[in-house]
Amino acid sequence: MTPLHLLLAIAVVFVWGTNFVVIKLGLASLPPFAFATLRFLFSALPWLLFVKRPQVPWRTLIAFGVLLGDGMFGVLFYAMRADISPGLASLVVQVQVFFTIGLSMVLLSERVRAYQLAGLALCVAGLGVILWHVDASVTVKGLLLSLAAALSWGSANVIAKQAGKVDMLGFMVWSSLFAVPPLLAASLWLEGWDAIPHGLAHAGPGLWSAVLWQALGNTLFGFGAWNWLLSRYSAATVAPTALLVPAFGMSASALYLGEPLQSWKIAATLLVIAGLAINVAGTRLQAMRA
């Protein structure tokens, strides 16, 4: 990536990393699927009245919206309610990097390099450290749900890449619309018919700030810019930058939520970030040789 595009990627992962604190604050007022419903509702409305639908098939918009909205954020919010801390969630969900690369190999015929496999090995080692220390901050259920969210994110990345060089703001606005019905159905079924009205009746500035940050900062800016980068570079070039998310996520969680940073969490984070370093350095070296 060019230096300017690399800075854009870092800005996105900064927003995503600190966003895990915002998610936790929002979940204090609303149950997970109700919170996710509002997030994607305000990512679509009123913007689709002013933003033109991108020239992609409806099935692409539907698939991306459902995978990102329900498969990734619905499941992740559910896990973060009680089964995994924000800092650890920000780390585990970055396995999406390797899901993205693997799916791109299978579906888009992108090649995998030896250094990418080395980075994957370090990431798996980091996850092993987390699994070894299952405690009050992370349960097996929370770990598995976060991995499922990562798989959905990786799948959504591939769909965005297949969409090509389209208006990614419009892509995010229109695809967000299709995340809402399944999330609303999940909220009504699992959380009750009064979950959203009760939450809104007691909503304060904090909740509305969290919802708007989720919709505008995280979804429209974050994923719009991310998908724009994916449409211009290989998945193996763009996806590894997301491994910086845990550094921002754990720092923000420790600073604002008082989440403890035990030595094993630091070790797991360093293993994952080492995987990032190998991927980025390998990609740069490959480009120089070419």
Distance CA 44, CA 188 (A): 20
Q: pLDDT tens digits, residue range 177-202?
A: 999 999 999 999 988 888 778 777 77
Phi-psi region of 164 (alpha: psi -120 to 50; beta: other; left: phi over 0): left
Q: Give how far the C-alpha of residue 259 lies from the chain's centroid of Cα atoms, to the nearest Å.
A: 20
pLDDT of 287: 64
- Res 63 pLDDT > 70: yes
- Res 87 pLDDT > 70: yes
Most confident region among 6-20, 85-99, 236-250 by mean pLDDT: 6-20
Tell me how long the chain is: 290
Q: Give how far the C-alpha of residue 193 lies from the chain's centroid of Cα atoms, to the nearest Å.
A: 28
Q: What is the mean pLDDT of residues 29-47?
A: 91
Amino acid residing at 118: A
Q: pLDDT tens digits, residue range 242-287?
A: 777 877 888 888 888 787 777 877 887 788 778 767 776 776 676 6
> Residue 243 contacts by C-beta under 8 Å, 6 or more apart in sequence?
94, 97, 123, 272, 273, 275, 276, 279
Q: Identify the residue with better confidence: 196 or 57.
A: 57
3-state SS, one letter per residue, for 7-34: HHHHHHHHHHHHHHHHHHHHHCCCCHHH
What percentage of the chain has pLDDT greater than the value 90?
23
Q: What is the mean pLDDT of residues 127-144?
A: 77
pLDDT of 164: 79
Q: pLDDT tens digits, residue range 137-181?
A: 678 888 899 999 999 988 998 898 888 788 888 998 999 999 999
Distance CA 121, CA 169 (A): 35
pLDDT of 108: 67
Judge contact between 145 and 79, C-beta under 8 A.
yes
Mean pLDDT of the chain: 83
pLDDT of 284: 66
pLDDT of 32: 92
**For the purposes of burial, counting CB atoms within 10 Å of the CB of 43, is it exposed (0-12), middle (13-18) or buried (19 or more)?**
buried
Q: pLDDT tens digits, residue range 209-238?
A: 888 898 888 888 988 888 888 888 876 677
pLDDT range class, residue 114, cuts 50, 70, 90: confident
215 membership: H or E segment, kind and range: none
pLDDT of 1: 72
Q: Which residues of 99-133 are buried (b: 16+ CB within 10 A; e: fewer)?
A: bbbbbbeeeeebeebebbeebbebbeebbebbeeb
Q: Which two tokens stand for residue 51?
A: 């933003």
Amino acid residing at 250: M
Judge contact between 275 and 119, C-beta under 8 A.
yes
Q: Of 29-38, 60-69, 200-209, 234-243, which range is least confident?
A: 234-243
Judge contact between 71 and 148, C-beta under 8 A.
yes
